[in-house]
Chain A
Amino acid sequence: MTLFDRKNEALTREDREQIQLERLQALVARLRKNAPGYRDILGDIKVESLTDLARITPTTPRHLADAFPYGMFTLPLREVIRLHSTVGADGVPLVVGHTRNDLTQWARLAARQLVSAGCTAHDVVQVGFSGGMFNRSLAYVMGAELVEASVIPQDTPHPHLQLAVMQNFRASILVATPTQARELINAMREKKIDPQSLQLRAVLLSRPVPAAERDELATTLFAEVRCNFGIAEILDPGLCVECREHRLHVNEDHFIVEVDKDELLVTAITREAMPLLRYRTSVRCSMEEGACPCGRTGAVLVPQGRMDDRLRVNEIPLYRRQIEEVLAQTRAAGHPFILSFSETSVSVAIRVSAQLFPDTVRELEALRKEVESECFSRLGIRAEVAFLSPITFGRQG
């Protein structure tokens, strides 16, 4: 079995419960001392066993939004050495802070995933997404360095360039989004490159994909395919490790997971800057326990999609409200529109009225460019804009 941290990934039930209890008690004591907000939530609850956790009021995405930017930090800002932004419920911006130890732990957890995918010090790891759009790329870079692999952090997502890098540097592990993996396959077909001529041994995908899609990618790329599952507000990657049996094992020495009314609740027991107690993730999930042939003993998560209206466009999490806010910044503000979403882009159909567009096609073209450019620069997504007459708009709306 390939485990980065054999001791902690294969804990016995008794040891795991002891470690979780110790860390939970320490966290609760720390929050009581340092975080006035949590003092009210915790009241006089004493945590004497893991079942006492259920008595604590869950933290919701709304709490995080209300506390923006630093209200959920439990240490002074001077101790927080990295800040990442993410999107919370309804598209509100959130900040996730990391202390030095948080980053160290994050690297170790990313390393667990890489090692599970087969990464060793002899590998060349190509991280296919940029640090700006996907914070998790930085964790994979740190994790690969910890494994002492050679790592190529990439900023250019163009598939042809990715392919060139993969060939030139003989990358053996690719960390990419499922969309990028598919684009890479298309690029290989266009350039008539045989995947077997590459050194690729494993692909680590940024999110879970259906088994059929995973198998197809594995067969086409002649590589092992593993998936990541994480929660950006807590830690992504880091929550789980997918093993060779394609089961998502929770890193239970760092997280306590519960399923309440089909929703995944996560308590981050080792995070210093922003430890969340019973965070409601808005992820529909079920949980399995029991021995796994891979040797890991962490509970197995089976995520089943979002419970809120979060969408995914070109692998970027997106809420309808975010598009509406962007449109409100353009000259189309205040006018009816219809949104439709695909995996790679969002379509905006705007109703054309005589008042808004009195004469020329040129003005319509300028507005189209404005909306497309604003969507790309503010949200990082491609928008396709169409104009509809009031009659057509009425039919489609």
Chain B
Amino acid sequence: MLRIRNLNCGYGSLCVVKGVSLHVSAGEIVSLIGANGAGKSSLMKAIAGLITPWAGEVSIHGEQTAGQPAWRCVSHEMVLIPEGRQMFADMTVHENLVIGGYHNPDRHQTIAEVLRRFPRLQERIHQLAGTLSGGEQQMLALARGLMARPKLLLLDEPSMGLAPLIVKEVFKAIRELRDQGVTIFLVEQNAMAALDISDRAYLLETGEIILEGAACDLAHNPEVKRAYLGKGYKEVWE
């Protein structure tokens, strides 16, 4: 569904993502994990067209999208749910949902479907988005993304700033979305939580993928610990 080859991108003269290749097949949850500053969000923005890749290929459903603007990416049935939720705080839950379905001619029907999936939002439908709790805002971000009826959902740090119990709820919702046929590419700093719900994962370190594999295998890999904690591996044998 999503295929990336040798993607390079960055800001100014600083190269942040260095020749990354990865793929996400239909029906999978794939995680991209890594420490702060590894380049995860930049990679996500390059896929979604928010920053222009310097080099490399991005294809969605076999169609090249590298360098296309963000608004075009929506037409490839791909939606990015950005880091920090990015709600329209002064608008109601309903208005946020309507904006999410801007390209969807059946948006009013979709609103009903989405609210059935997130009943808490139904209760808050006329409330301003800025007054929702962190967990509710994340649910609204998910719901707003679903308004475009995506086949591929890019999720950037959905657990950020949420209490552990709420994180569980959000991840449960993500798993349910996959069960309903949405393919998910998840960028997450909370490695263990992400690996727990993923089929496969990639570990990004200083802009390069250094590990790839089944999520259950990566959970036991010492490199994951090292990438986060930065333990020195100078001695090959002791």
> Which residue numbers of A lie inside 8 Å of B, CB to CB?
15, 18-19, 21-23, 25-26, 29-30, 33-36, 46, 48, 70-71, 73-79, 99-101, 104-105, 270, 272
Contact = CB atoms under 8 A, between A and B. Distances in A.
A22 B7 CA distance: 12
A71 B236 CA distance: 7
A272 B209 contact: no
A212 B15 CA distance: 60
Interface centre among B202, B208, B223 (most CB of A within 10 A): B223
B3 A18 contact: yes
Contact of B208 (A19, A29, A48, A73): A29
Nearest to A72: B236
Contacts of B210: 26, 29-30, 33
A23 B129 CA distance: 43
Contacts of B213: 101, 270
24 contacts: A18-B21, A21-B21, A22-B21, A22-B23, A22-B209, A25-B19, A26-B209, A26-B210, A29-B209, A34-B236, A48-B6, A70-B236, A71-B237, A73-B237, A75-B222, A75-B233, A76-B237, A77-B238, A79-B222, A99-B221, A99-B222, A100-B220, A101-B221, A272-B223
B211 interface: yes
Contact of A76 (B6, B205, B235): B235
Contacts of A30: 210-211, 223
A70 B237 contact: yes
B21 A25 contact: yes
A104 B217 contact: yes
Contacts of A99: 221-222
A167 to B, nearest CB: 39
Interface string B215-238: 001001111000000000101111
A15 B2 CA distance: 12
Contacts of A105: 217
A75 to B, nearest CB: 7
B8 to A, nearest CB: 10
B237 A272 contact: no
B99 interface: no
Interface centre among A19, A34, A71, A76 (most CB of B within 10 A): A76
Question: Which secondary structure dominates where chain B touches chain A?
Answer: strand
B236 A76 contact: yes
Contacts of A79: 222
B46 to A, nearest CB: 17
Contacts of B95: none
Contacts of B208: 25, 29
A85 to B, nearest CB: 16
A29 B205 CA distance: 9
Given A21-B5, A22-B209, A34-B236, 17 more contacts: A18-B5, A21-B21, A22-B22, A22-B202, A25-B209, A26-B210, A30-B223, A33-B233, A71-B236, A75-B233, A76-B236, A76-B238, A78-B238, A99-B221, A101-B220, A104-B217, A272-B221
Contacts of A25: 19, 21, 208-209
Contacts of A26: 202, 209-212
Contacts of A76: 233, 235-238
Nearest to B237: A70
A226 to B, nearest CB: 26
Interface in B180-232: 202, 205, 208-213, 217, 220-223
B237 A77 contact: yes
A100 B208 CA distance: 24
Nearest to B23: A18
A270 B212 CA distance: 9
Given A26-B211, A76-B235, A101-B220, A48 B19 contact: yes
A29 B220 CA distance: 19
A186 B87 CA distance: 79
A5 B210 CA distance: 24
A100 B223 CA distance: 12
B4 to A, nearest CB: 9
A22 B221 contact: no
A31 to B, nearest CB: 10
Contacts of B5: 18, 21
Nearest to B203: A26
A28 to B, nearest CB: 9
Given A48-B6, A100-B220, A101-B220, A22 B235 contact: no
Contacts of B19: 25, 46, 48
A78 B236 CA distance: 10
Contacts of A71: 236-237
**Nearest 4 A-B pairs (CB), nearest first?**
A70-B237, A29-B208, A77-B237, A29-B210
Nearest to B227: A33
